[in-house]
Amino acid sequence: MKINYKKSLKLITLLISALLIATASASVYNYMYMQNSNIAAEAAKVKFTTTGAGDATAAGATVGTNGTYVSFNSMAGWPNSTRTYQAAIGIENTAASAYTIELKFDLAGDWSGQTANVESITVIVRNTAGGTQYGTTITVGTAGSSTGTFSLPATTTYVVEWNIKWKATALSTDKVSVKLTLIVTGE
Amino acid sequence: MEVPIRGWSLVLLNVFLLVSLLLPVNGNALNVYYSLASPISAETPKVILQSGTAGTSTIYMNNTSAKVSVSAPSPTYDYVLKIVNQVANNWKANLKVYDSFNIGRLSNTTISFHDGSTSNQIIINGGIITQSEGPQYDLVGSATIYISMSNVQASASGTSYLYVYLKILVPDTSTYSLYIITFEIT
């Protein structure tokens, strides 16, 4: 096959021109600015607290700085029996007005470990240990399972109850980790 | 006036757009906190159930649930189960009925703890459960409590069931474990 260099050169020139035209097709930009010069770090109005939570020590509860995080490192259960921590942690509203809150097991990935050996883990919010339930029961392992929203009155503490049941076939080496999300609506 | 299909479609489209576009505008300030439980462990039971010497008892896997079968009439079944504390920790234990079946035929039955002293936990009288939950009883470190049944009387033939929780409480807390014990009385 004979190559026509003249035609090829023309074609390449045409392609380069097209490319230049395409890139030169500039947009018109208008720049606007939003300035916020006073974003304050406030004290949290709703906090996790061990005060009044009689099972916080047994559950190994540690509240983070500012009360916006809590970890539990010694919850356990015996196979084929239900372990209950009636007041594993408190949720305290320190403000003078009510807040709407919701506790939820958000995503399927929010628990891990030997989850197949768990019979059930449920979480309930009550006004006191063993008292009136607020919202619905959370089933750990079911994505989106939530208390639903409910009002936490001013200067009030509710407690969080955990119920853990391992299957009869669970081994003493089995462990799971569970993350729950607390959503507090409002400033 | 008849609205053509195209007209309805426009109306529906407008309603959809109104709802879907306005909802996100109705914003909220949300604060998101996290609670992490790690690890939640499956432990070897520190308190276990063991078979008794009276009646027939079946202990299930891990020794954390059991079934007891006795027949009426009998003055005493002592003992139908043992509660064995395998560790040095102290606990408080009690029994609580959470369900029952065909109890009306039982004229009397008392289920008790004993280990020197006695604590009546569940009492049935005249076909009625007159005491469905017993007082907390000390289960001290490495000790054993015995469960006995006394005055087991029935006014008719049949089979009755009592479904009971054995509640093992960590003293001075509201942390506890529940074991299921089924009492079958023929």
Residues 6+ apart with CB under 8 A from A58: A74, A85, B170, B173, B175
Residues in chain A within 8 Å Cβ distance of B64: 78-81, 168
pLDDT for residue B129:
98
CB contact under 8 A, B175 and A113: no
Does the pLDDT value for residue B70 go beyond 90?
yes
What pTM was estimated for this model as a whole? Answer: 0.84
Per-residue pLDDT band for A5 (boundaries 50, 70, 90) equals confident
Q: What is the pLDDT of residues B125-181, one digit of tens each?
A: 999 999 999 999 999 999 999 999 999 999 999 999 999 999 999 999 999 999 999
B26: pLDDT confidence band, cut at 50, 70 and 90? low
Q: In chain A, what residues touch B30 (CB-CB under 8 Å)? A: 183-185
Q: Are B43 and A77 in contact (CB < 8 Å)? A: yes
| Predicted local distance difference test score (pLDDT) of residue A10 | 82
Residue type, B80: V
Residue type, A84: T
Is pLDDT of A72 > 60? yes
Q: What is the pLDDT of residue A104?
A: 97
Nearest to A160 by CA among A95, A63, A80, A94: A63
Chain A hits for B28, CB-CB cut-off 8 Å, are 185-186
Closest CA to B35 of A111, A165, A108, A142: A111
**Chain B residue with the nearest C-alpha to that of A102:** B32
- Put simply, the answer to whether A72 touches B173 (Cβ < 8 Å) is no
Question: What does the DSSP 8-state code read for residue A21?
Answer: H
Does an H or E element contain A176, and which?
Answer: strand A175-185
Q: What count of CB pairs under 8 Å joins A to B? A: 167
DSSP letter at B62?
A: G
Using CA atoms, how far apart are residues B32 and B12, in angstroms rounded to an integer? 36
Three-state DSSP state, A17 = helix
Cβ within 8 Å, pair A177-B38: yes
- How distant, in Å, are the alpha carbons of A159, B81, B99, B150 from that of B183? 34, 11, 11, 13
Asked if residue B181 lies in contact with residue B166, where contact means CB atoms within 8 angstroms, the answer is: yes
Q: What span, in angstroms and rounded, lies between the C-alpha atoms of A61 and A75? A: 9
Domains and CATH numbers, chain B: 47-185 (2.60.40)
Contact B177 A162 (CB under 8 A): no
Percent of chain A exceeding pLDDT 70 equals 95
Arithmetic mean of pLDDT, B87-95? 98
Q: Do B40 and A130 touch (CB under 8 A)?
A: no
Percent helix, strand and coil across chain B, each to the nearest 5: 15, 60, 25
Outline where A24-55 has alpha helix (H): none
Q: Do A71 and B64 touch (CB under 8 A)?
A: no
Q: Kindly tell me the burial class for residue B18, based on how many C-beta atoms sit within 10 Å of its own C-beta (0-12, 13-18, 19 or more).
A: exposed
Query: Per-residue pLDDT averaged across B40-65, rounded?
Result: 96
Average pLDDT rounded to a whole number, residues A95-103: 97
Which of B33, B40, B173 has the CB atom closest to A54's CB atom?
Answer: B173
